[in-house]
A and B are shown apart, each in its own frame.
Chain A
Amino acid sequence: MKTLLVCEVREGKLRESWGELLAFAGALGGERELLLIGDEGLAPAVTGRLWVAPPSPRGEFDPAWHQAAVLEAARRAEADRIAFVHSSWGWDVAPRVAAGLGAAQVSDVVAIAEGGFETGCCNGKMRRIVAPRTERVVVTIQPGAFPARGGAEGTPAIERIAPAYRPDGVTFTGYEAAAPRGVDLARAPVIVSAGRGVGKKENVEIVAALAKALGGELGASRPVVDAGWVDHGRQVGTTGQTVAPKLYVACGISGAIQHLAGMKRAEFVVAINKDKDAPIGEVANVLAVGDLVQLLPAITARLRR
């Protein structure tokens, strides 16, 4: 078995997630080679073969170019596993590669288990073991599931490839920086966040009141921001801010992986939720089960006494 690990480049920089791909390959066993699509100067300092395809003449984000480069490297390397990180880039390119290879794809893999791949489902509440039925398999791994361990530092043996390329209808016109943050939650010692469980916009007030009573900042999970109940500047998670407060209070937050990724470094987590089985329970030091609308004002009143 040989696994081709596809590194991600964004805004001219190599994403550090290649170390996670390396850890995944280690867990999988067999041989591994890497692929970089970008300037050779970005090559990761790791032993073994590294295929290098230049960046696309049509800009950094060019799915057709990336697909062609991966297919060419997989063919030359005779790889039967092709791995990406399940990032916005990875989940975009991986199915194009799987379609090109006629291969199964397994998305968002959290572990190698039972002769297949373990992956989350039902909003992170449940798991599946997926058994591929094709000889070659494309895999995207969940960020954080295979922590980088280092240990293979060295100079790669570089092999250059030129993708056989047919531009398609997608033209990259540039990156847009994240909107400026309204509040720097990264420095807040206490954060009280509102999730979908608050039910309606008016109820954000009772979460904000608790935050105030604790001398903390109001945070929010994605659904609350998407609904326009809380400003994006307060979003905690993969597409918002990554926080590490002393105290994090999650109010009505189920604990989708994208949210957990943003707050798992909190020192102490209190979750208040009506669903006792919600994944947030996994990271909570204290889980209070109950109705937010009644519970939060009662707590706030006690804190104000």
Chain B
Amino acid sequence: MRILVCVKQVPDMAARFRPNGAGTWYGEEDLVFRMNEYDENAVEQAIQVKERLGGAPEVTALSIGPARVTEALRKALAMGCDRALHVPDDAAAERDPWQIASIIARVAQDRGFDLVLTGMQSQDRGSAQVGPFVAALLGFSCATTVVAFELGDGRVRVKRELEGGARSALEVALPAVVTCQLGLNVPRYPTLPNIMKAKKKPLDAVAPGGEPADARAATARFFEPRRRAAGQVIEGALDDVAARLATILKERASVA
């Protein structure tokens, strides 16, 4: 069995975002990049499948982007993936979901994957399109937003998360693309010995396989929304903030 996990590297969301020169996405200066959280759940799921099947499945991690994304791939290897593929692409951050999916599908095409796992969305774009597009391009079955996953008899039993905490249960025939929701599992932290081992695992650059598909949409402008300002902002010395806040809370709680 062969499993592909698609991971994206995204900025830490606590950062202050500023538009890039063209004003079409964020500038990367001062940003700290890490693996997209939803993709961490996907990597964890792939490794759990591998462990449950006695190590037999080969798990390949794939990422598209500039050289920095190899850090996310090293993390995937340190978590337990067997090998990694890097599609070098300095323009990846501004490609639309269809283009990204097309690149993934081309790389995946002849490598015989039975299962493709990825996050249900990225933290920066949040389009939730890439997984289903990859499935459409490869002709695989597709289930999105899963919070429960069990593999057996050539199919995957998953539960999709619905509004209000309900779930829908599905059986998905392989080959399949499954997109992972937060809470599906608790992604492991790579241990030091595994980080060392990961350095010896194969991380290969692969060509995107020709010109990318035409973009179907483009970002015309990236900006910070004009927010309704917070009614009152309290900042300053700890004791002062605590005193003022305690007064407000006491008053509000007493009329509650």
Measuring CB to CB, which residues of chain A are less than 8 angstroms from any residue of chain B?
10, 61, 63, 87-89, 91-92, 94-96, 98-100, 102-108, 114-116, 120-123, 125-134, 168-179, 189-190, 214-216, 222-223, 225-228, 232, 235, 238-240, 245-247, 249, 254, 268, 270-272, 275-277, 279, 281-291, 294-295, 298-299, 302-303
* Cross-chain contact B216 with A128 (CB below 8 angstroms): no
Is B165 an interface residue when CB atoms closer than 8 A count as contact? Answer: yes
**Least distance between B26 CB and chain A CB atoms (Å):** 7
Q: Please measure, in the bound complex, the distance between the C-alpha atom of A102 and the C-alpha atom of B17, giving whole angstroms.
A: 32
Q: How many A-B residue pairs have CB under 8 A?
A: 266
* Cross-chain contact A176 with B159 (CB below 8 angstroms): yes
Pick 28 A–B contacts, CB within 8 A, sort by A. Answer: A88-B163, A95-B131, A95-B132, A107-B128, A108-B126, A121-B125, A126-B225, A128-B222, A129-B220, A131-B217, A132-B217, A133-B216, A133-B217, A169-B140, A169-B172, A169-B173, A170-B142, A170-B170, A173-B157, A175-B167, A178-B165, A228-B186, A239-B161, A239-B164, A285-B231, A285-B232, A288-B234, A290-B235
Other A-B pairs, 4, CB within 8 Å; known A122-B26, A131-B219, A290-B235: A179-B165, A289-B234, A289-B241, A295-B241
* Cross-chain contact A247 with B256 (CB below 8 angstroms): yes
* Cross-chain contact A63 with B126 (CB below 8 angstroms): no
* Cross-chain contact A279 with B227 (CB below 8 angstroms): yes
The 9 closest A-B pairs by CB, nearest first: A169-B141, A169-B173, A178-B165, A246-B256, A298-B242, A99-B136, A287-B230, A104-B216, A95-B132
Main secondary structure on chain B at its contact with chain A? mixed
Residues of B within 8 A of A225 (CB): 183
* Cross-chain contact A114 with B141 (CB below 8 angstroms): no
Is B91 an interface residue when CB atoms closer than 8 A count as contact? Answer: no
Measuring CB to CB, which residues of chain B are less than 8 angstroms from any residue of chain A?
11, 13-14, 16-17, 26, 96-98, 123-129, 131-133, 136-137, 140-145, 155, 157, 159-174, 176, 182-183, 186, 214-225, 227-235, 238-239, 241-246, 248-250, 252-253, 255-256
* Cross-chain contact A105 with B129 (CB below 8 angstroms): yes
* Cross-chain contact A285 with B13 (CB below 8 angstroms): no
**Least distance between B93 CB and chain A CB atoms (Å):** 12
The closest CB in chain B to the CB of A242 belongs to B164
Given contacts A128-B221, A173-B171, whether A295 and B245 have CB atoms under 8 Å apart is: yes
Given contacts A121-B124, A128-B221, A178-B164, whether A245 and B13 have CB atoms under 8 Å apart is: no
Q: Please measure, in the bound complex, the distance between the C-alpha atom of A184 and the C-alpha atom of B157, giving whole angstroms.
A: 31
Residue in B123, B136, B167, B222 whose beta carbon sits within 8 Å of that of A95 in the complex: B136
* Cross-chain contact A92 with B229 (CB below 8 angstroms): no
Given contacts A126-B224, A131-B218, A226-B183, whether A239 and B165 have CB atoms under 8 Å apart is: yes
The closest CB in chain A to the CB of B18 belongs to A126
Residues of A within 8 A of B221 (CB): 114, 128-129
Residues of B within 8 A of A240 (CB): 165
* Cross-chain contact A276 with B235 (CB below 8 angstroms): yes
* Cross-chain contact B17 with A122 (CB below 8 angstroms): yes
Q: Please measure, in the bound complex, the distance between the C-alpha atom of A88 and the C-alpha atom of B230, giving whole angstroms.
A: 30
